[in-house]
């Protein structure tokens, strides 16, 4: 496992139960100490070694001498009128990434990042414009949930890997993080409430299916036509639509009931025509699928959301679709809630002294 080591102390967050057991055995201690520390880290959310009251003091001191607890510093927090919260974190090496918390009536979802930046350069995405900077470690992924839970009054019930980055290009760390999130002795979020969202990395979808990972799978489709998908998602040139749908079929065939969610950002004049809707029905009907339509959250990238008339024309054929279709309410419209937007905004403000005052008005400054 890759570690974050900046100040000669390794981050203990991100260690699996087995790794903790091994660590204590190497120190000549019984393996159950690893189980105890695992619970402190993830189940009880300890922020200091002193809290670990069932460990001998000498062992707590030994841990504190070698490890730190956490690698994230909150740089900015925006709270929307609808309750959506966005966090911008700084990592130990100065890189930054984001998470978004979405409270709803019956659940609270945290959307987390898996990379700093993203190499996939989707045309409508602010993160795509940053390029790829680095993968997040398992600890940096898990800590987004621990830290957001400490900051928010809402209990996080769902986690989606839909923030910055393509999670399936950081496969092993993402899966290790999901194990810790889903472990009843870890963060105890039900596996079915953890969803990994990919832009369509076909070999990774096949591996995810073969390994019968118990987490939900979402695929960003954004167009039912290869030539349009290719224009807005360059990754579609590498993994074409036919292969993508084949891999989706492989996933659903592994399970009796699981469905795949297809995410579809509605872009005016690009993918919101009635013929797009009809083709979606043709492609998705043979699968156990759910279609989640997301009106575009404007990022100044030359795209806009369809108006109501266009949206209704698009939705009309979908009324007869044999699968569930949902239209996501646009959350956090008054803050920078689309992926990569808060990062871009803070970076711009830091680079442009004239706009600094505006950023202080909008972004809740932290101690
Ligand atoms: S939409 Fe997702 S995969 Fe595409 S560039 Fe943005 S972060 Fe990367």
- CATH 3.20.20.70 placement within the chain: 73-362
Average pLDDT estimate for 216-225: 97
Secondary structure percentages of the chain, helix, strand, coil, to 5: 40, 20, 40
Instruction: Classify 305 as helix, strand or coil.
Output: coil
pLDDT tens, residue by residue, 100-150: 999 999 999 999 999 999 999 999 998 889 999 999 999 999 999 999 999
Indicate which residue of 98, 140, 143, 166 is catalytic. 98
Instruction: Evaluate: CB of 46 within 6 angstroms of ligand 1.
Output: no
The class (CATH top level) of 10-68 is mainly alpha
Rounded distance, CA 149 to CA 145, Å? 6
Task: Report the percent of the chain where pLDDT is more than 70.
Answer: 88
In this prediction, residue 355 carries a pLDDT of: 33
Residue 110: beta bridge partners?
101, 159
Specify the fold of 73-362: TIM Barrel (3.20.20)
98 classed as catalytic: yes
- Ligand 1 contact via 261 beta carbon (within 6 Å): no
Averaged pLDDT for residues 299-317: 92
Residue 187 C-alpha to ligand 1 middle, in angstroms?
A: 27
Task: Tell me: pLDDT of 177 over 50.
Answer: yes
pTM of the predicted protein model: 0.90
Which residue spans of the chain are classified as CATH 1.10.150.530?
10-68
Identify the residue whose C-alpha is closest to ligand 1 atom 5. 128
> Would you say the CB of residue 125 lies under 6 angstroms from ligand 1?
yes
Residue 165 Cβ inside 6 Å of ligand 1? The answer reads yes
Annotation marks residue 122 as catalytic: no
Whether residue 366 contacts residue 76, with contact meaning beta carbons closer than 8 Å, is answered with: yes
- DSSP characters for 88-124? EEE-TTS-EEEEEEEE-SS-EEEE--SEEE-SS--TT
Å from CA of 326 to ligand 1 middle: 21
């Amino acid at each position: 496992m890759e570690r974050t080591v900046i100040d000669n102390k390794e981050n203990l967050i991100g260690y699996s139960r087995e790794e903790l057991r091994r660590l204590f055995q190497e120190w000549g201690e019984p393996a159950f100490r690893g189980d105890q520390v695992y619970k402190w880290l993830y189940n009880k959310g300890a922020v200091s070694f002193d809290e670990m009251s069932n460990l001998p003091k000498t062992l707590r001191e030994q841990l504190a001498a070698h490890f730190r607890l956490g690698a994230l510093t909150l740089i900015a927090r925006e709270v929307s009128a609808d309750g959506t919260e966005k966090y911008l974190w700084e990592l130990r090496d100065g890189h930054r990434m984001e998470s978004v918390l979405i409270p709803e009536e019956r659940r609270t979802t945290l959307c987390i990042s898996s990379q700093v930046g993203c190499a996939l350069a989707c045309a409508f995405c602010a993160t795509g414009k940053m390029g790829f900077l680095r993968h997040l470690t398992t600890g940096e992924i898990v800590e987004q949930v621990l830290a957001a839970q400490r900051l928010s009054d809402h209990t996080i019930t769902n986690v989606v890997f839909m923030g910055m980055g393509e999670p399936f290009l950081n496969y092993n760390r993402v899966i290790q993080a999901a194990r810790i999130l889903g472990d009843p002795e870890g963060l105890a979020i039900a596996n079915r409430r953890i969803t990994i969202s990919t832009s369509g990395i076909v070999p990774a979808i096949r591996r995810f299916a073969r390994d019968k990972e118990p987490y939900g799978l979402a695929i960003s489709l954004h167009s039912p036509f290869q030539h349009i998908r290719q224009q807005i998602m360059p990754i579609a040139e590498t993994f074409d639509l036919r292969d993508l749908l084949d891999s989706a079929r492989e996933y659903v065939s592994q399970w009796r009931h699981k469905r795949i969610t297809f995410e579809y950002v509605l872009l005016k004049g690009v993918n919101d025509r009635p013929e797009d809707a009809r083709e979606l029905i043709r492609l998705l009907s043979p699968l156990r699928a759910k279609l989640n339509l997301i009106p575009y959250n404007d990022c100044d990238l030359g795209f806009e959301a369809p108006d109501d008339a266009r949206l209704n024309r698009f939705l009309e054929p979908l009324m007869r679709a044999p699968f569930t279709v949902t239209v996501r309410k646009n959350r956090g419209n008054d803050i920078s809630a689309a992926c990569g937007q808060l990062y871009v905004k803070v970076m711009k403000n830091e680079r442009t002294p004239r706009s600094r005052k505006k950023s202080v008005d909008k972004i809740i400054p932290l101690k």
